[in-house]
Amino acid sequence: MKKTFITMFAVLVAAASFAQNPKIGKEIKATKDYAAGKAILDAQFANLTDEDKGKAYDELYKLAKEKADPSIAIISSGKAEGVDYKTILAAIETAYECEKYASKDAKKNVDEISPFRATLINAANGADNDADKLAYSRCYINTAKDGDNYIKLANFFAAYASYQNKDFQNAGKYAKAALGDEKVNDMAEQIYRVSLEQNLKTREDSLNFVNELKALNIDKYFTQICGIYQDLGQEEQVNKLVDEALAKNPNNKIAYFTRGSINNAKKQYDAATADFKKAVEIDPAFIQAWFNLGVCASQKGFDLNEKYTDKTGRIPADKAAEVTSVLKEAITYYEKVRELDPNHEQISNWPMQLRMLYNAVGEKAKADEISKMLGDI
């Protein structure tokens, strides 16, 4: 008997949670106000059947449409000043909720308001805050049909707003959907890339990120891809990418530069120097490669100095001459950087590097000249 009572009680609770309210449509209509009607629907929504939800949205749509009519009239006249896009947003959202719950007037409502969906793009573009921009663009996205002409643009606005809110997961999702629109592709690609980067937590995330960069533009993100592989300890992948890039284009300066940077990090200075020299041979104005030649030679020189210096702090004359020769070689590379970037706008720290080397080889007058240029003396 006790078991039967519990079962019946459970059935009664379940039935109560889906209680009907066939009068809700009339209740919403009686408010004669969209906000008040929506408040009634929101309060009862969880306990309504789909049929009652459809009836409620039919009545709510009428109130939303009535409130949007003045703005619709302005748009229909070819003007934009004075349009309240939020009223149009409410009408569109409500009409498509009618469709979702198969209300009696769903098709009529959607057909009536759908010609004004495009105004959501204008609203998103002109929104002065990210919350509104996101609301307009999401509504457009959620009510789009196949072949929609502005869907990528709407996704871009949603991506931008999500990115501004530091919602990188949604920013990446929307930005990816926006790729391919020639007007916003570059910015969408940037948001997509940075958003993915912000979500890197595991090794698998990093590998997936590499695959996405390859799909976007392997040549454009070549250095970053190689850097990630290097950080993950996958040097074989780096070498493979460099070899493939050079096989495809023997004059790929970025491939040489990338391999040179990796060799320099491993203190394989001669191999690194050969790669950087090849890069500047291909492009004599490749300032970062000239700078890295200087970095490579100076590191080599200081490493040799440390190697040859004995416990008393002395270094044999012939070894000292070798070190000085290497450091002077570094100076020639930095002087080339100076020639290409006299105001140190592209590479801000070359003056400090060059001054340090002039002091190291005993050319104090030239070091002081750089100090004067920097305003230090």
pLDDT bin (cut points 50, 70, 90) of residue 178 is very high
Show which of 116, 137, 158 is a domain's final residue: 116
Show which of 54, 82, 116 is a domain's final residue: 116
User: What's the predicted TM-score (pTM) here?
Assistant: 0.76
**Distance from C-alpha of 159 to C-alpha of 167, rounded to nearest angstrom:** 9
Tell me whether residue 276 is in a domain: yes
305-to-222, 315, 318, 360 alpha-carbon distances in Å: 35, 8, 12, 11
Tell me whether residue 132 is in a domain: no
pLDDT at 6: 40
Tell me whether residue 245 is in a domain: no
**Distance from C-alpha of 282 to C-alpha of 256, rounded to nearest angstrom:** 10
Tell me whether residue 238 is in a domain: no
Tell me whether residue 301 is in a domain: yes
pLDDT digits (tens, 9 = 90+) for 8-50: 334 334 434 445 677 899 999 999 999 999 999 999 999 999 9
Tell me whether residue 288 is in a domain: yes
Tell me whether residue 168 is in a domain: no
The CATH number of residue 323's host domain is 1.25.40.10
Show which of 116, 136, 153 is a domain's final residue: 116
Contacts of 115 (CB under 8 A, 6+ apart): none
pLDDT bin (cut points 50, 70, 90) of residue 377 is low
Tell me whether residue 243 is in a domain: no
Domains contained in the chain, number: 2
Residue 322: domain span = 267-377
Residue ranges of the alpha helices (H) in 77-143?
85-100, 106-113, 119-126, 130-142
CA angle 272, 275, 281 (to 5 degrees): 140
Do residues 298 and 327 make contact, with C-beta atoms less than 8 angstroms apart? yes
pLDDT bin (cut points 50, 70, 90) of residue 129 is very high
Q: Is 55 helix (H, G, I), strand (E, B) or coil?
A: helix
Percent helix, strand and coil across the chain, each to the nearest 5:
75, 0, 25
